[in-house]
Structure 1
């Protein structure tokens, strides 16, 4: 079907190696020749990027060199698909405005539990919330047939522009311990056309159990196939 490049690294809390490994069999089963890189330096390799049909990125925070980002942007503009989940794509390279423009959305926060219920660990930010499929999402190949689903994990608050096509959302309610005064709806799954390339971002995916959720996994896997240069034209 094509060539896939898996790029992983950054903050270890999102377990980039283990998380990406869970998707390698899927890519192989769908005919991809898979190459794995532990560094974004590969983005600066023009020959590799030119023959890559799909990039799956799992690099939370970290930084990226100018030539690496230029290589990534050029590849996507030329038709290479770009996808990932959670902080591995929506919270990468915080210091790079050009990366933010490419992806179209940036993690801002994940609201926490009531202060008196916090234990001082990552579960302080695990909230039960709904991922709601939009009208567009009900018709899109990535999310068609999926119903709204509930997760108990980090609920991403995302800053975004209107060049994204939102397939699913999540709404942050008003709570007495938070400073906002009306519910905030953030995109939870979106696509973006950039030049000839397709981008798919899925914000759930903090931990391996979330990635194993059937709805989350379906979105990510379908997103890989749709984003690929060799994917569906729908």
Structure 2
């Protein structure tokens, strides 16, 4: 039986530690019989032969830019059956200027609300809020999130703009606060899947730092998402 082929693409904003973050998951892929190729830029997306030979793309590229040829190559590969997955800004805050990429992924980071202004000290911890990632009814029965339970985290809580073609496995709610401009609680998708052509996309929004990625629930969701997104012989 041929080994499955995973392509890890990493780079972008250094604050999300793309090398160390992806190195957490490469041993999992190798232990599950994936042949792993690592690329430090998105140039590989424009290589049609390489992408056609890829069963799974694990992307960790926050912000940055992508060319029209590269995003077209990634999209074409997913439509043809290549899986795409990632976490946090490495997938849902990538390539802000590319409408085609946003359409592929189905959601876009908007903000992560911070602490009350009087509690802020100027570091990244200003945006670390205690919050719950709530598994939906769909998520309770889905192979990615079944049996995981709700996740209680203290980290960035992503507010995501999205469309309704995503299948939401978990959500998180942003409460009202006197220093914030919104007037009722807002619920954002926190974990979702998306069918795109013959391909599968999985997005997990927690994952700002290595300690969050090592949280047992978060790590399990990401690892299961890799397996679920991988190219299959059918679209079922």
TM-score range, shorter chain: over 0.9
Q: Determine which of 104, 126, 129 is the counterpart of 2:128.
A: 126
Deviations 1:130-157 (A, max 9, x none): 0000000000000001111100000000
3-state SS of 1:8 partner: strand
Aligned twin of 2:172: 170
Deviations 1:95-146 (A, max 9, x none): 0011000000000000000000001010000000000000000000000011
Which residue of structure 1 lines up, in the alignment, with residue 25 of structure 2? 23
| Counterpart for residue 94 of structure 2 | 92
Q: Give 1:80's aligned residue.
A: 82
For the residues of structure 2 that align with 1:232 and 1:68, how far apart are their CA atoms?
A: 26
Identify the residue that residue 219 of structure 2 maps to in structure 1. Answer: 217
Runs of 5+ in structure 1 lacking a partner? Answer: none
Once superposed, which parts of structure 1, at least 4 consecutive aligned residues long, lie more than 3 Å away? Answer: 230-234
Counterpart of 1:33 (choices 32, 35, 38) is: 35
Q: Is the 8 A contact 2:198 2:235 kept in 1?
A: no
Provide, for residues 41-60 of structure 1, a one-character-per-residue CA deviation record: whole Å limited to 9, x for no partner: 00001110001000000000
How far apart, in 2, do the equivalents of 1:225 and 1:38 lie?
A: 22
CA distance in 2, matches of 1:34, 1:59: 17
CA RMSD, Structure 1 to Structure 2 (Å): 1.1
Query: For residues 233 and 169 of structure 2, what CA distance do their matches in structure 1 show?
Result: 18
Q: How many residues align?
A: 234
Matched position secondary structure for 1:159: strand
Q: 1:28 to 1:85 in 2, by over 3 A?
A: same
* Deviation digits for residues 167-222 of structure 1 (CA, Å, limit 9, x no counterpart): 00000000111000000000000000000000000000000000000000000000
| Distance in 1 separating the partners of 2:155 and 2:60 | 18
Q: Identify unmatched segments of 5+ residues in structure 2.
A: none
What is the deviation of 1:230?
4.0
Are the counterparts in 2 of residues 225 and 232 from structure 1 also a CA contact under 8 Å? no
In the other structure, the counterpart of 1:143 is 145
